[in-house]
């Protein structure tokens, strides 16, 4: 497994994955995303986005982190977040924010919950926007060099494999899947009427 920057060719997959997981990214740009991939199969296993808010007090947000069900509990999300934190640092941000009701996941990586009264105005305004669709969302903050990858997640990521999809069996194929129309007689048809 590894995590890389998204490429233009990943755009369709990203849009489908965002929709499947119920994310709304109104400012979608594939270049803002990173993607986790299985080295052997090239299957995409997770994604996340860094969003830079430009204002009088610019700040950086990690958002839209998603891992399809069959790749969860294997450290994929943690490695996506690690890559996003590295990108934020490369862009000159010493602090990174996240806004979610699922903040407990981030606390194991070094993020700290922040009281609303301690947030800079633009960050608080962003939190209020997120709360319009996630009532229980809180702000979490990660300061420079505070990211900590738990060893168990690092080890799981090294050997991550997709879990079997319980609803996925072999699809039943029909003649139409091969471009064959049973109503049109051909010289090989067994249903010719004379």
Domain contains 129 = yes
Position 185 scores a pLDDT of 58
Is the distance from CB of 65 to CB of 48 less than 8 angstroms?
yes
Position 191 scores a pLDDT of 53
Residue 118: how many other CB atoms lie within 10 Å: 10
How far apart (Å, rounded) are the C-alpha atoms in residues 180 and 175? 5
Domain contains 184 = no
Burial of 76 (0-12, 13-18, 19+ CB in 10 A): buried
Position 161 scores a pLDDT of 86
Range of the domain at 102: 2-166
List the CATH number of the domain containing 106: 3.40.630.30
Give me the sign of the Cα torsion angle 39, 40, 42, 47. Answer: negative
Please, which residues bridge with residue 33 across strands? 49
Position 27 scores a pLDDT of 76
The predicted-structure confidence for 124-180, as pLDDT tens digits, reads as follows: 999 999 899 888 999 999 997 888 888 998 888 988 888 876 555 555 555 555 555
Answer whether residue 36 shows pLDDT above 90: yes
Position 177 scores a pLDDT of 53
Q: Which residue did the predictor score with more confidence, 144 or 14?
A: 14
Answer whether residue 192 shows pLDDT above 60: no
The predicted-structure confidence for 65-123, as pLDDT tens digits, reads as follows: 999 898 999 899 999 999 999 999 999 999 999 998 888 888 899 999 999 999 999 99
Position 166 scores a pLDDT of 52
Domain contains 146 = yes
Domain contains 189 = no
Is the distance from CB of 60 to CB of 88 less than 8 angstroms?
yes
Answer whether residue 40 shows pLDDT above 60: yes
Domain contains 192 = no
Domain contains 21 = yes
Give the number of domains in the chain: 1
CA geometry: angle 64, 54, 12, nearest 5 deg: 35
Domain contains 135 = yes
Position 5 scores a pLDDT of 93
- pTM reported for the whole predicted model: 0.79
Domain contains 182 = no
């Amino acid at each position: 497994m590894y995590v890389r920057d998204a490429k233009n060719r990943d755009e369709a997959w990203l849009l489908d994955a965002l929709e499947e997981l119920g994310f709304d990214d109104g400012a979608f740009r594939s270049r803002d995303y990173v993607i986790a991939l299985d080295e052997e199969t090239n299957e995409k296993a997770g994604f996340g986005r860094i969003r830079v808010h430009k204002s009088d007090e610019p700040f950086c947000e990690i958002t839209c982190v998603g891992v399809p069900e069959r790749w969860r509990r294997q450290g994929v999300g943690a490695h996506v977040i690690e890559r996003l934190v590295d990108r934020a640092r490369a862009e000159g941000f010493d602090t990174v924010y996240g806004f979610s009701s699922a903040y407990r996941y981030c606390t194991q990586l070094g993020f700290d919950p922040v009281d609303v009264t301690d947030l800079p105005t633009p960050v608080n305004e962003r939190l209020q926007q997120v709360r319009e669709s996630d009532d229980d969302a809180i702000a979490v903050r990660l300061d420079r060099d505070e990211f900590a990858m738990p060893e168990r997640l690092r080890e799981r990521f090294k050997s991550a494999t997709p879990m079997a999809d319980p609803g996925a069996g072999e699809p039943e194929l029909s003649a139409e899947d091969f471009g064959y129309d049973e109503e049109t007689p051909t010289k090989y048809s067994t249903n010719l009427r004379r």
